[in-house]
């Protein structure tokens, strides 16, 4: 009997019918908690990239050195170049071939870039646009590769695939070995003002001169690492570049009357500057308060009247940079100012034509200086010797030099709108010296890692430049419209830049907002600043990934932020937290039970009518709901009967057991008359109509208008 009973019980447990259970199958589920760890999304740590987010003991990266001779043909608007490339294989892998970027091929006559863009026939168009679109042959841009040679001038096999070129090695390149080869090329420079582009020339019909802002002008190596292997994604024109660090020895030949700025240390100042300019430059290197004019507008205007027939060669050396760019024109005015960075002097320069003055003269170099100071404060001391802002009428960045917009009206006047836009873009582009020119993330894969991080620090620099600066990206209130928009047109931040709809909001605005919220609301300034600085310094002159950033921010702060990365970076969910209901109580003593009894007051509003025998405190049971998908802190402002206010923040983890609704008991010495959630618009809450109790839609709208105005 005993053996039989055990058998029956065993069968009952196996079939789920023991102890009153029915035979219905119980369905399990996976962990959908918003606070679950990111482990299944982040790559497994290894000896190259540690679990802390730091480079590991086996971390490696390639090095690529360039020696270049460049000729600018001003008459025909062409670039001619010869380069010798030395590729250092510091990886543990043996490489059968090298991949080289040919970014100018995006502008080749047979480029596929226009073919991937949807288009339609307009109802009407201007004759100029009609001729340009339908009657004019495509611009013949793109690299004209004349030769790819070994160092002994023997030919190397190569294959061009649109904006990428595979160099086929005769013998595999072993780990620790280096390979030298040569490329000769030329291309037609595009007019970036009429045809667009991230570099090119601007033509001034009044005086017949050109301003050149030249980048992506040389075949340059792709990144090879242990995360992506070869980063050889095609360049379609939007997502920018992944590049290796190296040393550049560059000679640039221009017309003799040109003024030129470029990446690197100028080695032959006495050959290219006049004695007067050298004397002024010496003064500028000791002037820290105001820019010093090295070439004045009057001098530039005199020079631009004629065109030199002779040439001169500028010689530069740039150590440990990831790219190279230059700007040159006979029209350029040049001013300079010294910047003190923790005992080191860095030079801030601006090059601009008279058409950009006095706006550039008033603000450009000062904006450069402020950027270097602010970014050095929050990341690391700027390691290079200079930073240049160029009147390039675009927004584009390269090591030590960037091209920026902004010009006054013909009479020299300019509006605040024009001024602030010019300063904003200048700060942003100079800031790119830090991200990604030094903290060298892969822009093609993760645009937000340079644009978003840079946009966040840009905010701090803008406010340091002018405490009333009209910051346009980064404040939580400014991203609400985007986040609350059509979900079919929104991609997570963790998306490739070429594949997102609203590039500016996705890659710049939302990541900057996320970091602002982390600093101001969730982590606090001290913890955030230490962690952000730790990340920046860990990955100086290296190639970080998103996982390295996420892990470092947690490692250096001691705060688990997986819930935040998951919501803000891996999803398109929105924040919407409201007050569902408020119950109010007073406490009184029950002498028979010898206990304190809570009596609910069911009248409308927050007023509590207490008998004289009641305890002095007021008690409330507040139920918060969360129509939005994001988990965020609940920031509640309590207004009391005496007019005073108190703000209380409940951490995001309050939602860990129930993602939809949570109830909180609040007791107070004073009676509460009003409750408002997120009173300072800190959390990008997309619906303020449910943020108040008693409900007050007019108050919510007024609050939003006031905050937007400020």
Q: Is 114 inside a domain boundary?
A: no
Quick one: tokens of 403? 């091209």
pLDDT value of position 19 = 44
Which of 526, 556, 572 terminates a domain? The answer is 572
Burial group, residue 131, by CB count within 10 angstroms (0-12, 13-18, 19+): exposed
Which of 532, 552, 572 terminates a domain? The answer is 572
Q: Is 214 inside a domain boundary?
A: no
3-state secondary structure of 627: coil
List CB contacts of 319: < 8 A, sequence separation 6 or more.
247, 264
Q: Is 190 inside a domain boundary?
A: no
DSSP-assigned letter for residue 284: H
Q: Please tell me the distance from the alpha carbon of residue 631 to that of residue 610, in angstroms, as a whole number.
A: 37
CATH number (domain holding residue 473): 1.10.390.10
Range of the domain at 555: 440-572
pLDDT value of position 61 = 97
603 and 673 co-located in one domain: yes
475 and 544 co-located in one domain: yes
Q: Please tell me the distance from the alpha carbon of residue 64 to that of residue 78, in angstroms, as a whole number.
A: 26
**CA torsion angle for 89, 90, 92, 94 (degrees, to 10)?**
0
Tokens 């062409």 -> residue: 78
606 and 669 co-located in one domain: yes
C-alpha angle 137-140-146 in degrees, rounded to nearest 5? 150
Structurally, the chain folds into a number of domains equal to 2
Which of 548, 572, 596 terminates a domain? The answer is 572
Quick one: tokens of 605? 């509003």
603 and 671 co-located in one domain: yes
Q: Is 121 inside a domain boundary?
A: no
pLDDT value of position 60 = 97
612 and 693 co-located in one domain: yes
566 and 656 co-located in one domain: no
List CB contacts of 594: < 8 A, sequence separation 6 or more.
none
Q: Is 520 inside a domain boundary?
A: yes
Q: pLDDT tens across 407-446, in order?
A: 999 999 999 999 999 999 999 999 999 999 999 999 999 9
562 and 583 co-located in one domain: no
519 and 611 co-located in one domain: no
pLDDT value of position 187 = 97
Q: Is 430 inside a domain boundary?
A: no
563 and 477 co-located in one domain: yes
DSSP 98-121: EEEE-GGGGGBTT-STGGGS----
pLDDT value of position 462 = 98
Q: Please tell me the distance from the alpha carbon of residue 659 to that of residue 335, in angstroms, as a whole number.
A: 57
Nearest to 125 by CA among 137, 117, 116, 134: 134
Please identify every stretch of the chain with a pLDDT value under 50, giving residue numbers as ranges.
1-20
679 and 644 co-located in one domain: yes
Phi, psi dihedral angles at 589 (to 5 degrees): -90, 130
Q: Is 59 inside a domain boundary?
A: no
Nearest to 637 by CA among 668, 667, 679: 679
CA distances from 326 to 72, 254, 416 (A): 11, 11, 29
The answer, yes or no, to whether the previous bond of 436 is cis (omega within 30 of 0) is yes
474 and 584 co-located in one domain: no
Q: Is 291 inside a domain boundary?
A: no
Q: Please tell me the distance from the alpha carbon of residue 666 to that of residue 692, in angstroms, as a whole number.
A: 16
589 and 486 co-located in one domain: no
Provide Rg for the chain, Cα atoms: 31
């Amino acid at each position: 009997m005993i053996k039989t009973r055990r058998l029956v019980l065993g069968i009952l447990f196996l079939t789920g019918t023991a102890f009153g259970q029915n035979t219905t199958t119980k369905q399990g589920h996976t962990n959908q908690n918003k606070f679950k760890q990111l482990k299944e999304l982040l790559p497994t740590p290894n000896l190259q990239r540690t679990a802390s987010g730091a480079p590991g003991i086996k971390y490696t990266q390639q090095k690529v050195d360039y020696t270049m001779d460049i000729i600018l043909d001003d008459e025909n608007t062409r670039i001619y170049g010869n380069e010798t490339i030395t590729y250092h294989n510091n990886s543990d892998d043996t490489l059968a071939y090298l991949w080289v970027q040919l970014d100018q091929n995006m502008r080749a006559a047979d480029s596929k870039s226009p073919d991937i863009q949807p288009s339609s026939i307009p109802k009407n168009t201007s004759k100029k646009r009609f001729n340009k679109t339908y009657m004019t042959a495509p611009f013949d841009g793109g690299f004209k590769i004349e030769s790819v040679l070994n160092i002994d001038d023997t030919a190397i096999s190569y294959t061009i695939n649109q904006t990428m070129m595979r160099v086929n090695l005769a013998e595999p390149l072993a780990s620790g070995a280096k390979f030298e080869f040569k490329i000769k090329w030329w291309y037609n420079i595009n007019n970036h003002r009429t045809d667009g582009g991230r570099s090119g020339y601007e033509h001034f019909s009044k005086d017949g001169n050109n301003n050149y802002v030249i980048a992506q002008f040389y075949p340059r190596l792709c990144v090879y690492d242990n995360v992506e292997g070869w980063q050889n994604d095609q360049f379609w024109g939007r997502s920018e570049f992944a590049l290796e660090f190296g040393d550049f020895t560059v000679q640039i030949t221009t017309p003799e009357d040109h003024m030129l700025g470029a990446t690197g240390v100028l080695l032959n100042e006495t050959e290219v500057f006049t004695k007067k300019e050298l004397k002024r430059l010496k003064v500028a290197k000791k002037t820290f308060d105001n820019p010093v004019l090295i070439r004045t507008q009057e001098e530039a205007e005199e020079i631009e009247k004629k065109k030199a027939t002779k040439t001169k060669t500028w010689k530069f050396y740039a150590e440990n940079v990831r790219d190279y760019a230059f700007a040159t024109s006979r029209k350029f005015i040049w001013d300079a100012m010294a910047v003190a960075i923790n005992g080191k002097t860095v030079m801030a320069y601006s090059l601009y034509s008279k058409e950009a003055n006095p706006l550039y003269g008033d603000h450009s170099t000062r904006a450069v200086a402020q950027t270097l100071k602010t970014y050095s404060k929050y990341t690391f001391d700027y390691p290079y010797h200079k930073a240049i802002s160029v009147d390039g009428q675009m927004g584009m960045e390269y090591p030590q030099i960037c091209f920026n917009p902004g010009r006054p009206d013909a009479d020299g006047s300019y509006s605040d709108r024009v001024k602030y836009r010019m300063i904003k873009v200048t700060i942003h582009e100079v800031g790119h010296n830090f991200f990604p020119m030094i903290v060298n993330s892969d822009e093609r894969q993760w645009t937000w890692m340079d644009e978003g991080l840079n946009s966040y620090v840009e905010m701090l620099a803008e406010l340091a430049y002018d405490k009333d600066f009209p910051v346009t990206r980064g404040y939580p209130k400014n991203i609400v419209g985007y986040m609350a928009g059509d979900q079919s047109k929104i991609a997570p931040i963790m998306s490739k830049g070429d594949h997102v709809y609203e590039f500016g909001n996705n890659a710049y605005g939302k990541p900057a907002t996320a970091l602002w919220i982390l600093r101001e609301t969730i982590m606090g300034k001290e913890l955030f600043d230490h962690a952000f600085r730790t990340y920046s310094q860990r990955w100086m002159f290296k190639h970080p990934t998103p996982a390295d950033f996420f892990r470092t921010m947690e490692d250096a702060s001691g705060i688990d932020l997986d819930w935040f990365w998951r919501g803000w970076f891996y999803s398109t969910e929105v924040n919407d937290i409201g007050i569902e209901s408020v119950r109010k109580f007073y406490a009184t003593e029950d002498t028979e039970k010898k206990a304190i009894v809570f009596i609910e007051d069911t009248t409308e509003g927050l007023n509590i009518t207490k008998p004289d025998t009641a305890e002095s405190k007021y008690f409330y049971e507040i139920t918060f709901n969360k129509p939005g998908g994001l988990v965020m802190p609940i920031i509640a402002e309590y207004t009391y009967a005496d007019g005073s206010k108190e703000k209380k923040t409940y951490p995001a983890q309050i939602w860990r057991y129930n993602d939809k609704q949570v109830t909180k008991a609040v007791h107070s010495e004073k009676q509460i008359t009003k409750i408002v959630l997120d009173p300072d618009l800190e959390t990008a809450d997309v619906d303020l109509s449910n943020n108040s109790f008693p409900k007050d839609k007019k108050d919510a709208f007024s609050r939003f208008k006031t905050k937007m105005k400020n």
